Each structure stands twice: as structure tokens, then as C-alpha cells.
Structure 1
């Protein structure tokens, strides 16, 4: 087996799929992209090179969530960290996406790294029609730690690592 691409919160993730500037990773025993439970998605925005462009990308995600017709989407949290001399601005969007087949919690971090925009999305899925209690319990128990780990994560493997 190939070595993991990276670890997040102590969990090794393996590359599963890429297209264009989007790259998906799951843990060792979650190879099936139709039935994964945990996924990290890295997205590069090569044309985003400044804080305003990054904020526009975060707002575009929020607009897309509001316009979604095929799933029920609830934005649970948004936050922005202003830029400092040492660190560029960052944005976080946490949302719940519900379909007939699953419920998904998505934690999306937008950031600039070496003047290139990108997002890191940690997603957790719950399959079935009556999984809201399980998702709520998971979010209550793991949500703050997941957010903290995502915001602290600085490994940024390719494709988000600057060339």
C-alpha cells in the first residue's frame, strides 16, 4: 500500500481522486467514494492571489449553499480571522447538507498560502434516513476539536503546497 498523503488530527489520509484543482482523500479503509465516512478535499484557486479574492471564494460557497435545490443546507457557523503582519486572513464555513441518502457535515477552511488561494474541507457523512440524532451527537462531541484541528493544520501537501 502507498504511504498516506498526509495526516489530519492523527488520521492518515490517502489520495483517492483528482480532477482539475480538486483532490479528494479518505482514510485507509474508506476507498469507496460512494460510501466514505470521512473525507478531506483540497481545492486550489490559482487565480485567487489576495485576501479579497479569498473572501469572494468563501462568499461564493455560502451563496451556493443558499441556492442548493437538491439538498437541504444549513450553515452552522462562519468565521473570519483578519490578516495580521504574520498571517493572511482566513475564513471558515461549517455546514450541514442533508439529502435523502445521507447527512453530511462539512468544515471548510479558506486560506492563502504563498499568495495562492485554497480550501481544505473536512467532511463527515452519516448514511440513512434517520441519522440526525447521530450527526448531532457527533457534532456536539467532535465539532470543536475538528474545527480546531482543521484551523491548526499546516501540512498543506501538494496540491496546496506552493511550488
Structure 2
């Protein structure tokens, strides 16, 4: 498993680490209107999945805004931001931040995504920062588990991976 720290302290990740070449695990999270969202919901598209501990924190806010801006340069790419924030909080945050090109989804109910992708932090019931790119055939083509949860991911590498995926 990936070795992750949160504010310098080691944390335990639940679930299975995902690797490039793996078939993307399915999951069920909630959209802002409480409807279920699964991997199947965006079948046939490239998915850039941005995972953040909480959209209400500085780095998570910046990460979501950055991918929202990058979306304009990405064709046939669905960008999801996954956190354990409640759907209502995500909706409020998106409205205040002007987020229109990224779909925020909540894993608060079951940690379905967190455990399927190995990013659920046992000690905090938050998700570790990570980025995944899944191609249109549901194959994982890019994985970044950010080693320190308060650091930024490699935005350029993730965007290039999304552009390269088919």
C-alpha cells in the first residue's frame, strides 16, 4: 500500500491500492442531489478522478478549482472530485466557488470509493489526496497517491494522462 501522511503523521489506508493497468473498481457515491453515481454513470468517457479530504480546505479548494479550469482543455473527459463532505456542503461550496466543469460527489455514506481505491483514511474517516485517470474502457491509466495529504498533486501529469487516454 501507498505510504501516506496527514500533517506529517502516518495514517492507515483502508482498501486496495489501485495500479496502472488495473480494471477500475466500481463504486457508488452520491451526487449533490443525493442520486447515486457509479463508474458506469460515465461509461464511454475518460474519467479524471480527483480525490480530496475536504473541499473546505485550502489545498482541496485549489485542487478542485485547478481541475475545473483544466476541464476546458479536455475533450470527452468527465472530471469527478470525490470527498466525504456531505452533498449539501459540496453543492454550497461549488456555487460559492463557481465550479461548473467538475462534478463533486460524496463518499460519506459508505466509503465505497475510498475502500475500492485504497484512499480511505482509517483514523480520520477522510479520503487521502489522490488522482486517478480511467480510460473509456474502464482501465486505470494514471495513479497518484499524494504522499502527504496536505500537498498538491502533480496537475500537469494528471491532465496529460487524461489527454492521452482514449
In the superposition, the TM-score normalised over structure 2's length comes to: 0.27
Q: Which protein is richer in strand relative to its size?
A: 1
Q: Which protein is richer in helix relative to its size?
A: 2
Task: Answer with 1 or 2: which has the greater Rg.
Answer: 1
With a CA cutoff of 8 Å and minimum separation of 6, indicate the structure with the bigger relative contact order.
Answer: 2
In the superposition, the TM-score normalised over structure 1's length comes to: 0.28
